[in-house]
Structure 1
Amino acid sequence: MNRAQLAPPPAFLLAGTHSGCGKSTLSVGLMRAFRNQGLVVAPFKTGPDYLDPQLHAVAAGRRSWNLDGWFMDDSGLREGYAKGSMGADLSLVEGVMGLFDGADAVDFRGSAADLAKRLGLPVVLVVDGAGTGGSVAATVLGHRRIWPDLDLAGVILNRLSGERHFRLQEAAIQAHTDVQVLGYVAKSKAWKLPERHLGIYRPHEVEGLEGALNGLAADIGETVDLERLRGLARVPLAVPALPLAQPGELPVALARDEAFCFTYADTLDRLERLGVRWVPFSPLRERLPEGVAGLYMPGGYPELHAAELSANTGFLADLREAHARDLPIFAECGGYMALSEALVDLEGRAHPMAGIIPGRTRMTERLQSFGYKKLKAQRDTLLCRAGAEGKAHEFHHSVWEGELAAPAWQMENLRGEGGPEGYAKGNLLAGYAHLHFGAQPEWAERWVARMKLASNRSHLLPAD
C-alpha cells in the first residue's frame, strides 16, 4: 500500500502562553527530535504565517502546511490536515501567539485553541517558567479552565534554571491541576531563533542551523519525555482520504528566491490539483520563463534585495512585455512592490522597479498594517467579479506612495477600518493582501480558467 493512502496520522498541537515563550524554538526542536528517532513528522502552523513553516520544513524534512481557523471552515481544516499529513507517522501543529489569541478576544476564533477544538487535537502548553515558582500552577490552571472542554493534555516548562527549579514547578502543577507535566528545557540550553522586522530569519540565513537543530533535539530528549508526549497524540476528527496532487500541464511561472518566498503549501497544492505545473525561477537572477500561461509573484523580502532586483533589467523588461501581452499575473505584497515604479529603502534610495503600476512603495521603520482583512472587489479582477467578498491577511512595513489608479479591493480590518487597496486591470491583480484560497477556493478556479483561456489564445511569451 502506498504510504500516501494510509490513514491520517495522530497529532498534537504545541501552544504557548504568549508570543516569545519559546514555542517556535521548541516546535522545531521536537520535530527534529522525533525525526531523529526515525519518524516521519508532518509539520503544521496555526494561522497566516510564512516564516515558521520554512523552519519547520528544515527541521522535519518535509513541507509545512498552514491551518487557519479564520480563513477555513471545518471541512477545509480537515482537508488541509489530510493533504499535509500524507505518509507521516506523527503530526505536530505549532500554535500562534498565545493559546487563545486569534481574530476575536471573546470567542477566540482563529486561535490555536479554536483550531485544536475544531479538529479534536490535544494541546501541549509551553510555559516560560523563568523567574517564577509555584505561581506557574495558576498559569496552567487558568489555561485549563477557560475552555473546560479543550483537551489541555500536557505542559512543557521552558527556560528553567535546572532540575531543582523543574521539580518545584512540577509539584505545584501536579498539586493544583490535572495537566501532565512532560518535562522542561533549561535556560542554559534554550537556543533562540534570530529575528528581524517580519519575524524569524529564513533557514538559509541562519548559520549552523543543522547543528543547532540536532543539538536542540538532543537537549530536549534529555529532559522531555518524548514517548509520553507522542502517546498523547490523536487522529483529528473526520479527516478525509485524499489522493496525492499531481502536477498538471499548465505551466505557470512561480517567483521563488530570497526576495519572494511567502507562499502557502495549500495554494501551491490547490493550483496543482486544478492543472497547474509550477515553473519556479528567481527574479533576482533569472529572466521570466518562456512559454508560461501565467505568473505568480508572492510576498517576501524585496526590500532586502532591492538593488539586486532593480539591476535585473532583463526580468523587469520581461514583466512589462508580459503585462503588455495580457499574461495573467497575480502579485501579493512583495510582488506588488516589484511591479511599482520604484522601491524606496530605509536610507531613502529609490530603486527602479518594473513600472507597470503607477506609484511607488517606501519602507518605514514600523509595521504599517497587520492582521486579518475583509475584501470586497471594486472591479472585475483576475480572481473574481466586482462585488465579490473574501478574506485576506496583511503584514508589511512599507507604504504606497501615489494615487491608486485602479484599486482592486475595498479592504477593512475586523473593526471595520480600511479603504481602497491594490491594483486590478485586465489580467493583472496586485496588492498588499495575502490570500488563502482555502477561504475562497472558487477564486483559484477562476485564476486557472483565466490562465487556460490566455494560453489557448496564445497570449504567451514568445518561445525560441
Structure 2
Amino acid sequence: MGQPRHSFCIAGTQSGSGKTTLTLGLMAALRQRGLTVQPFKCGPDYIDAGHHRHAAGRISRNLDSWMMPPASIPATFQNACAGADVAVCEGVMGLFDGASSTELKGSTAEIALLTDMPVVLVVDARAMARSIAALVAGYVHFEKDLRVCGIIANRVGSEGHARILREALAAAGLPPLLGCLPRDEAFHMPERHLGLVADTEDAGVADRIETLATAVESAVDIDQLLECSRNLNTKKQAEVARSTVPVKLRMGLARDAAFYFYYEDNLDALRARGVELVEFSPLNDAALPEDLDGLYIGGGFPEQFSAELSSNIAMHAALRAFAESGRPIFAECGGYMYLCRSLELPDGNRLPMAGVLAADCVMRDKRQRLGYTKARSLQAGIFGSAGTNLRGHEFHWSEVVPDPGQTALFEVSDAHGRRQEQVGIQQGNTHASYFHPHFASNPAAVDAWVTALESD
C-alpha cells in the first residue's frame, strides 16, 4: 500500500479556533474536485468523525497516541489511506495539547510527526494584525521536527484585514497564508455539551457542509495547499498484516441514530478474527438477527431517543432473552444506559429501558466524566482473565445506579493514574460500563472476546 499523493493535518492554536469548520469545508471541496479523501480525527472523539463521513464520503479513522501504541499509528494511517488521493486529519484541542503538560503524548503534533503529515495551522484572527506573526512563529518553532506548511486565518473581517495578515507572515519569513475565512453565522454547526450535535441528529448537515465547501473553495488557495502538502518522503512505512480468516462467528452490532459510537479499527479487529458484524436497530427492529454468537452495543445519545427506545418493548424482550441465554454481550456508554431498567430524564420523567441490568440510569445536569481512562478487569470475562488492562476514554452526563451487590466490571483511573474507582457491571455474561476501550491498546483482549464468542 502506498502513501496518498497529498496529506495534511489541520491543527488549531487552541480549541474553538475553527479547525472543524475548515476541516469539513476542505474535505468536501476536495471531494467536489474529484479527489478521493480519507478523513482522520486526532484523539478519541466520535462526533467530529461522523461529520467527516458526510464531507469526505469515507469512514473517518481515529488516531490517538495515548489509547493506541504510537508504533501502530503509521501502519493504521497507511492502511486506511488505501485508494485515497489525499488524507485530511483534523486535530484535537490546540496543536500541542494532549495527555501531558510536558510531552507530546496524545497531541495533534505527535500524530503529525508519527504519520509524516505537514500541519496546516488554523488561527482565529479576530482583532489581530501583525501579532499573527508572533503567534505563528511560536507554533512553528516550538517543536523542531514538526513542519507547518501553511496558515489559514479564521473569522477575518475584510480583504484589508487579510492583506495585513498575509504581509505580516511573509515579512517574518513564516509559512504562507493559504486563505482567510470570513466571519459568517452560516458556517456555525449546532452544538451540544462540548462539541457538535451528532450527524445522526442534524437534519441540515448536508446543506451546511455544502455551504462550507463553497466558502472554502472561494477563500482558500486549495491548489497551493495541495502543492505544499504533496507527499515527497520516500520512507517506507510498516503495513498491518490483513487477516484472511474466514467468517466463523456472527455478532449483532447495534447501529442506528441512537447507537453509533464505534472505533472503526475496533470493528476491523473483530472482522480480522473471523467475526461477521450483523447490524440491528434497537430503535426500529422488533427482533435481533438470527444465529448470533454475541452482541456489541456501542455508545451514542439514547436520551435523545428515549421515548422511541422505551416503546420498543419487543426489542427489550429479545435482549433479555439473549442475556439469559448466556451468550456474551458487551455494552459501552449509551449501550450501558440502554440495558438498564429505566432512564430518568432531566425533567424527572422516568422511562423503561431494556431491563437487562439490575440498575437504573439518571441524567444529570452536569458532566460526570470526560477524559482518557485506564481500565483493569476485576474478574475473568470476555476480555480474558482478571487483571486485563485496556486504554480508552469516557464522556457522559448520566449516572448508572446499580442495585446493591452488583459485580463491578473494571477498576479505572485517569491518564495520570489518579481516580481509582470501580465501575460498570458484570452480570452473568453481560459486560457493561461507560468506558470506551480502544482494542489497539491490548489486542489480546480481542482474541479473548472471540474465544468467548466461540465457547457460548
TM range (shorter): over 0.9
Looking at structure 2, the residues matched to 425 and 207 of structure 1 have their Cα atoms a distance apart, in angstroms, of 38
**SS, match of residue 63 in structure 1:** coil
Alignment-mate amino acid for residue 239 of structure 1: Q
Aligned counterpart in structure 1 of residue 82 of structure 2, from 82, 86, 102: 86
Root mean square deviation, CA, Å: 1.9
Match of 2:377 in 1: 377
Looking at structure 2, the residues matched to 198 and 351 of structure 1 have their Cα atoms a distance apart, in angstroms, of 26
Match of 2:343 in 1: 343
Looking at structure 1, the residues matched to 405 and 347 of structure 2 have their Cα atoms a distance apart, in angstroms, of 25
Looking at structure 2, the residues matched to 309 and 31 of structure 1 have their Cα atoms a distance apart, in angstroms, of 34
Looking at structure 2, the residues matched to 7 and 144 of structure 1 have their Cα atoms a distance apart, in angstroms, of 25
Aligned counterpart in structure 2 of residue 439 of structure 1, from 435, 441, 445: 441
Aligned counterpart in structure 2 of residue 74 of structure 1, from 40, 58, 70: 70
Looking at structure 2, the residues matched to 104 and 13 of structure 1 have their Cα atoms a distance apart, in angstroms, of 20
Match of 2:284 in 1: 285
Does the alignment pair 1:191 with 2:191? no
Q: Which runs of 5+ in 1 are unaligned?
A: 455-464
Match of 2:387 in 1: 387
- Distance verdict in 2 for CA 1:338–1:248, change over 3 Å: same
**SS, match of residue 318 in structure 1:** helix
Match of 2:124 in 1: 128
How many Å apart are 1:404 and its aligned residue?
A: 6.3
Describe the superposition over 1:206-255 as per-residue Cα deviations: whole angstroms up to 9, x where unpaired: 34433332232122122211111112223785433457777834221100
Match of 1:357 in 2: 357
Looking at structure 2, the residues matched to 190 and 46 of structure 1 have their Cα atoms a distance apart, in angstroms, of 26
Looking at structure 2, the residues matched to 124 and 90 of structure 1 have their Cα atoms a distance apart, in angstroms, of 14
After TM superposition, the structure 1 = structure 2 runs for residues 53-452 of structure 1, keeping only pairs within 5 Å, are 53-188=49-184, 191-197=187-193, 199-233=195-229, 234=231, 238-241=236-239, 248-286=247-285, 287-402=287-402, 403=404, 405-415=406-416, 416-452=418-454
**SS, match of residue 237 in structure 2:** coil
Work out whether residues 373 and 393 of structure 1, in 8 Å CA contact, stay in contact via their aligned partners in 2.
yes
How many Å apart are 1:348 and its aligned residue?
A: 1.1
TM-score, normalising length: structure 1: 0.93
TM-score, normalising length: structure 2: 0.94
Q: Which runs of 5+ in 2 are unaligned?
A: none
How many Å apart are 1:269 and its aligned residue?
A: 1.4
Describe the superposition over 1:413-442 as per-residue Cα deviations: whole angstroms up to 9, x where unpaired: 134113000112442211010011111111
How many Å apart are 1:292 and its aligned residue?
A: 0.8
Work out whether residues 390 and 439 of structure 2, in 8 Å CA contact, stay in contact via their aligned partners in 1.
no
**SS, match of residue 128 in structure 2:** coil
Work out whether residues 74 and 114 of structure 2, in 8 Å CA contact, stay in contact via their aligned partners in 1.
no
**SS, match of residue 303 in structure 1:** helix
- Distance verdict in 2 for CA 1:245–1:284, change over 3 Å: farther
How many Å apart are 1:444 and its aligned residue?
A: 1.2
**SS, match of residue 322 in structure 1:** helix
Looking at structure 1, the residues matched to 257 and 389 of structure 2 have their Cα atoms a distance apart, in angstroms, of 32
- Distance verdict in 2 for CA 1:194–1:404, change over 3 Å: farther
Match of 1:458 in 2: none
Looking at structure 2, the residues matched to 339 and 400 of structure 1 have their Cα atoms a distance apart, in angstroms, of 10
Work out whether residues 83 and 244 of structure 1, in 8 Å CA contact, stay in contact via their aligned partners in 2.
no
Describe the superposition over 1:322-360 as per-residue Cα deviations: whole angstroms up to 9, x where unpaired: 111111111001111111121111111111122222221
Looking at structure 2, the residues matched to 412 and 354 of structure 1 have their Cα atoms a distance apart, in angstroms, of 29
- Distance verdict in 2 for CA 1:74–1:412, change over 3 Å: closer
**SS, match of residue 78 in structure 1:** helix
Alignment-mate amino acid for residue 411 of structure 1: V
Alignment-mate amino acid for residue 116 of structure 2: G
Looking at structure 2, the residues matched to 235 and 271 of structure 1 have their Cα atoms a distance apart, in angstroms, of 34
How many Å apart are 1:31 and its aligned residue?
A: 0.4
Looking at structure 1, the residues matched to 303 and 191 of structure 2 have their Cα atoms a distance apart, in angstroms, of 16
**SS, match of residue 315 in structure 2:** helix
How many Å apart are 1:175 and its aligned residue?
A: 2.0
Work out whether residues 9 and 118 of structure 2, in 8 Å CA contact, stay in contact via their aligned partners in 1.
yes
Percent of aligned positions that are identical: 38
- Distance verdict in 2 for CA 1:167–1:404, change over 3 Å: farther
How many Å apart are 1:181 and its aligned residue?
A: 1.5
How many Å apart are 1:173 and its aligned residue?
A: 1.8
How many Å apart are 1:190 and its aligned residue?
A: 6.0
Work out whether residues 77 and 115 of structure 2, in 8 Å CA contact, stay in contact via their aligned partners in 1.
no
**SS, match of residue 435 in structure 1:** strand
Work out whether residues 333 and 432 of structure 1, in 8 Å CA contact, stay in contact via their aligned partners in 2.
yes
Does the alignment pair 1:23 with 2:24? no
Matched residues, number: 450
Looking at structure 2, the residues matched to 209 and 431 of structure 1 have their Cα atoms a distance apart, in angstroms, of 30
After TM superposition, the structure 1 = structure 2 runs for residues 6-17 of structure 1, keeping only pairs within 5 Å, are 7-17=3-13
Looking at structure 1, the residues matched to 127 and 442 of structure 2 have their Cα atoms a distance apart, in angstroms, of 46
Alignment-mate amino acid for residue 123 of structure 1: V
Looking at structure 1, the residues matched to 248 and 36 of structure 2 have their Cα atoms a distance apart, in angstroms, of 30
Alignment-mate amino acid for residue 308 of structure 2: E
